[in-house]
């Protein structure tokens, strides 16, 4: 080989190395490795094997120019050939198969002609030749060895072709050295890509683990951490498709999608620190248990006291027995009415009137005697405060505890060393409780201070919360109710009206409903947005969120 030709091929090898370092898809990387090796050595065919956990060589890509075969890799079909065992039943190296020998011995094998080669089993090659009419003659088999000196695969090239005549020849020594150099670069590139993919899978598994831990804390918000990112991505894709209006310029790459998906999965990670009894507070008096049972016991004490007073009056020989009985029955009715009233107040609602709050305070002033003989107010200060909660089931202090989860979320996410392609995850995840009018939390950002992605996630979080069937403190709302509430939110500056318009116009809510909502919630709320009921309510077209 003359000096100019050698320099050209070395330059080609360098270009191949650069190209391999840029490939991000493992199957495509293997295909590029094999095709580059074939071109570099003027081979007619080749195969790449990868070692698997069973200590075998598995076919990953096969190319044969003469036969027009291209299997495996980034776009090829499935290779239906058995894996090659690296060791026999006794644990000894399988030296009969040339690929296994190269792998276990970590040595290149250069065979000029399989018909005259000794020591290797080429029966499979001969069967392939007989079946296809192909002539497999020269073989160059090179192990792929990683940085830990472990064999991760084998590169096998078949039939070196003379550049001048096209005749099959043995692989020259210089081609072997080039192939070995390429195999070294290929092993580095493949290992790097494999490690990156493994780290990505590990990271995603850890994210899922955190999500599952949050959902497992509460049977009432089970799967919330997965439903919100699903809906977030549906809305984001609809915004990406938008060709008019303020969102026409919004686009996403695959990297952008991945970043947003991770942010969606992590949007409530701070809830891992939120006390369960606050997060799941189903009634106003609930702590570790519903304290309304204690209130019920006190009513029983008051009924007992009323009965004692009645009996003592009768035993005293009072002549007004009729009045005593009338007063006793009236007392029982009053106590029963008060008990029913407090039980109703204990269930959170949209609003509690001032009249009802005043009645709670009157009942709180009743006196009762505990087991130690100590006379106490019928309701203590905390119980009275809880039963007078105007909306929902949370006190102001408990609401602050709940709201603090987003502060914790931001602190947790900002403490992580995010790579460049995920650096916006904290901002996306941390903004889903902000409002367009600046009245949200924790930072009070306005719409123009928030990214489109954060505004998208805010809509997803609200819609999921309103339609969720597994919250203990409220019933799931139908689509018509949900959209009516969100219409007002859009008009009042709570959520982004442009994103919400896309959400409605593109019927994103219906796509989500088919997957997650109970069919009874899907009431086709808007004219012109009818979807066949049979499609939505078929057994396979929706999934009810688990409790």
Q: What's the per-residue H, E or C state across 482-545?
A: HHHHHHHHHHCCCCCHHHHHHHHHCCHHHHHHHHHCCHHHCCCCCCCCCCCHHHHCCCCCCCCC
Is residue 232 within 8 A of residue 224, CB to CB? The reply is no
Of 48, 74, 50, nearest to 62 by C-alpha is: 48
pLDDT at residue 366 is higher than 80: yes
Phi then psi for residue 19, to 5 deg, are: -65, -40
Q: How many Å apart are CA 350 and CA 365, to the nearest integer?
A: 26
Q: What is the pLDDT of residues 151-204, one digit of tens each?
A: 999 999 999 999 889 999 999 999 999 899 888 888 888 888 888 888 888 988
At residue 541, the pLDDT reads: 29
Residue 433: its H or E element: none
Q: How many Å apart are CA 238 and CA 77, to the nearest integer?
A: 33
Q: How many Å apart are CA 323 and CA 535, to the nearest integer?
A: 68
Is residue 171 within 8 A of residue 179, CB to CB? The reply is yes
Q: How many Å apart are CA 309 and CA 323, to the nearest integer?
A: 13
At residue 270, the pLDDT reads: 85
Per-residue confidence at 454, pLDDT binned at 50, 70, 90? Answer: very high
The distance of Cα 159 from the centroid of its chain, to the nearest Å, equals 48
Residue 182: its H or E element: helix 173-217
pLDDT at residue 530 is higher than 80: no
Residues in a beta bridge with 154: 49, 143
Which has more pLDDT, 214 or 90? 90
Q: What is the pLDDT of residues 85-122, one digit of tens each?
A: 999 989 999 999 999 999 999 999 999 999 888 889 99
At residue 194, the pLDDT reads: 85
At residue 526, the pLDDT reads: 55
Question: In sequence order, what E strands does 118-175 have?
Answer: 139-145, 151-161, 168-169
Which has more pLDDT, 29 or 505? 505
Q: Name the range with the highest mean pLDDT among 8-17, 227-236, 468-477.
A: 227-236
Q: How many Å apart are CA 472 and CA 353, to the nearest integer?
A: 22
The distance of Cα 157 from the centroid of its chain, to the nearest Å, equals 42
Q: How far is CA 480 from CA 228, 504, 530, 532, in A?
A: 20, 12, 13, 17
Q: How far is CA 506 from CA 173, 238, 250, 529, 538, in A?
A: 64, 7, 16, 10, 22
Is residue 239 within 8 A of residue 452, CB to CB? The reply is yes
Read off the DSSP letter of residue 392: S
At residue 15, the pLDDT reads: 73
Q: Which residues contact 439 (CB under 8 A, 6 or more apart)?
A: 493, 494
Structure tokens at 50: 């990868």
Per-residue confidence at 398, pLDDT binned at 50, 70, 90? Answer: confident
pLDDT at residue 361 is higher than 80: yes
pLDDT at residue 528 is higher than 50: no
Phi then psi for residue 54, to 5 deg, are: -90, 10
Per-residue confidence at 539, pLDDT binned at 50, 70, 90? Answer: very low
Q: How many Å apart are CA 260 and CA 252, to the nearest integer?
A: 10
pLDDT at residue 247 is higher than 60: yes
At residue 217, the pLDDT reads: 73
Token look-up 């692989």 returns 171
pLDDT, averaged across the chain: 86
At residue 233, the pLDDT reads: 96
Q: How many Å apart are CA 299 and CA 259, to the nearest integer?
A: 56
Is residue 506 within 8 A of residue 500, CB to CB? The reply is no
- The span from the first CA to the last CA of the chain, in angstroms, equals 73
Token look-up 């840029």 returns 22
Domains of the chain: 3-196 (3.30.450.40), 218-269+420-536 (1.10.3210.10), 292-393 (no CATH)
At residue 367, the pLDDT reads: 93
Give the three-class secondary structure for 374: coil
At residue 185, the pLDDT reads: 85
Residue 220: its H or E element: none
pLDDT at residue 533 is higher than 50: no
Residues 462-468: what's their mean pLDDT? 89
pLDDT at residue 524 is higher than 70: no
pLDDT at residue 220 is higher than 90: no
At residue 274, the pLDDT reads: 81
Burial group, residue 545, by CB count within 10 angstroms (0-12, 13-18, 19+)? buried
Q: Which residues contact 130 (CB under 8 A, 6 or more apart)?
A: none
Q: Which of 217-231, 272-286, 492-506 has the lowest mean pLDDT?
A: 217-231
Which has more pLDDT, 227 or 280? 227
Q: What percent of the chain has pLDDT over 90?
A: 52
Of 61, 48, 250, 251, nearest to 153 by C-alpha is: 48
pLDDT at residue 256 is higher than 70: yes
pLDDT at residue 4 is higher than 60: no
Q: What is the pLDDT of residues 60-76, one digit of tens each?
A: 999 999 999 999 887 77
At residue 200, the pLDDT reads: 86
Q: What's the per-residue H, E or C state across 233-296?
A: HHHHHHHHHCCCHHHCCCCCCHHHHHHHHHHHHCCCHHHHHCCHHHHCCCECCECCCECHHHHH
At residue 496, the pLDDT reads: 96
Is residue 272 within 8 A of residue 217, CB to CB? The reply is yes
The distance of Cα 3 from the centroid of its chain, to the nearest Å, equals 56
Is residue 285 within 8 A of residue 348, CB to CB? The reply is no
pLDDT at residue 535 is higher than 60: no
The distance of Cα 191 from the centroid of its chain, to the nearest Å, equals 26
């Amino acid at each position: 080989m003359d000096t100019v030709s050698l320099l050209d091929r070395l330059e080609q090898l360098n270009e191949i190395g650069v190209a391999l370092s840029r490939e991000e898809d493992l199957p495509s990387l293997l295909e590029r490795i094999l095709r580059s090796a074939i071109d570099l050595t003027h081979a007619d065919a080749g195969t790449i094997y990868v070692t698997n956990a069973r200590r075998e060589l598995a076919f990953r890509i096969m190319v044969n120019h003469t036969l027009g075969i291209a299997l495996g890799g980034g776009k090829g079909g499935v290779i239906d050939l058995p894996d090659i065992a690296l060791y026999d039943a006794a644990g000894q190296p399988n030296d009969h198969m040339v690929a296994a020998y190269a792998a276990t011995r970590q040595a290149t094998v250069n065979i000029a002609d399989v018909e005259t080669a000794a020591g290797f089993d080429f029966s499979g090659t001969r069967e392939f030749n007989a079946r296809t009419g192909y002539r497999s003659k020269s073989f160059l088999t090179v192990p792929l060895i990683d940085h830990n000196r472990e064999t991760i695969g084998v590169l096998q090239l078949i039939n070196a072709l003379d550049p001048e005549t096209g005749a099959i020849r043995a692989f020259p020594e210089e081609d072997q050295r080039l192939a070995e150099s390429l195999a070294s670069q290929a092993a580095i590139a493949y290992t790097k890509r494999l490690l990156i993919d493994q780290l990505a899978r590990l990271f995603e598994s850890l994210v899922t683990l955190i999500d599952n831990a949050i959902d497992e804390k509460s049977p009432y918000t089970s799967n919330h951490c997965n439903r919100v990112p699903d809906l977030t991505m549906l809305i984001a894709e609809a915004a990406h498709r938008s060709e008019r209006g303020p969102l026409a310029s919004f686009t996403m790459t695959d990297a952008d999608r991945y970043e947003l998906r991770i942010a969606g999965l992590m949007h409530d990670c701070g809830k891992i620190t939120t006390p369960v009894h606050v997060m799941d507070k189903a009634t106003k008096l609930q702590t570790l248990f519903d304290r309304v049972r204690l209130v019920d016991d006190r009513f029983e004490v008051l009924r007992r006291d009323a009965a004692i007073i009645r009996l003592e009056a009768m035993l005293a020989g009072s002549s007004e027995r009729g009045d005593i009985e009338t007063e006793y029955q009236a007392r029982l009715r009053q106590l029963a009415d008060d008990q029913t009233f407090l039980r109703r107040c204990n269930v959170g609602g949209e609003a509690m009137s001032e009249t009802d709050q005043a009645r709670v305070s009157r009942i709180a002033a009743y006196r009762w005697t505990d087991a130690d003989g100590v006379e106490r107010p019928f309701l203590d200060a905390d119980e009275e405060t809880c039963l007078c909660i105007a909306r929902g089931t949370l006190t102001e202090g408990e609401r602050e505890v709940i709201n603090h989860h987003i502060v914790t979320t931001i602190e947790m996410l900002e403490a992580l060393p995010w790579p460049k392609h995920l650096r916006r995850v904290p901002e996306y995840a941390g903004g889903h409780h902000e409002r367009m009018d600046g009245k949200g939390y924790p930072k009070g950002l306005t719409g123009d201070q928030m990214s489109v992605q954060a505004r998208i996630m805010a809509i997803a979080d609200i819609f999921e919360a309103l339609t969720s069937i597994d919250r203990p403190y409220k019933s799931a709302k139908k689509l018509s109710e949900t959209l009516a509430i969100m219409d007002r939110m859009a008009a009042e500056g709570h959520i982004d009206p442009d994103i919400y318009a896309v959400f409605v116009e593109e019927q994103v809510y219906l796509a989500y409903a088919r997957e997650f909502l109970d069919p009874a919630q899907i009431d086709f709320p808007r004219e012109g947005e009818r979807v066949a009921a049979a499609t939505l309510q078929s057994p396979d077209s929706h999934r009810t969120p688990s409790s």
